[in-house]
Amino acid sequence: MKNISVSQSHEIIKENSSVVLVDVRTPAEYGSVHAERALNHPMESLDAERLPYGKQDEIHIICQTGGRSLKVSQKLEAAGFCNIVNVEGGTSAWHGTGLPVVEGKKAISLERQVRIAAGSLVVIGVAVGHFVNPAGFGLSAFIGAGLVFAGVTDTCGMGMMIAKMPWNRA
């Protein structure tokens, strides 16, 4: 697996029409804005064996900032794909650099949805713990532990659950 910048990826894709650009964000994120020529194969439902690409095809993987694309790149490489390219910086960098994008309806990013949900659950836990029953503080502690786990392992269970919600299905 190779890591390249958004500018390098754009140049390669522009010069070679056989290169595939795969966006692994949720359908809602993809529908909001995506790199021109990007095809959506969400990370949550991506099955390497069912992809319509050959194991020798050059496939550039992009997400929002680079974290999910790196995981998918590693997954595809482990499945035998030998020409996988991780696009560093993701769609944020692609759009920020002024490269061509397709814009649609605005959506709240998955990362923001996780922050809203986690923050809300912490506030609810504190309120329940203070006004109703001290056991409510356990909810806040559980969410805090989950956030620490997500930071250490770079895996977010809450994000995976939120990605499956109907509003993230486009």
**Phi then psi for 60, rounded to 5 degrees?**
-95, 130
Q: Which of 102, 114, 111, 109 is nearest to 29 (CA)?
A: 109
Q: Are 42 and 27 in contact (CB under 8 A)?
A: yes
Q: Which tokens hold the place of 74? A: 């590693």
CA dihedral 49, 113, 89, 170 (to 10 degrees): 50
Q: What residues act catalytically?
A: 63
**Phi then psi for 4, rounded to 5 degrees?**
-135, 165
Rounded to an integer, what distance in angstroms lies between the CA atom of residue 59 and that of residue 87?
10
CA dihedral 35, 162, 48, 71 (to 10 degrees): 70
Up-side HSE of residue 21: CA atoms within 13 Å toward CB? 25
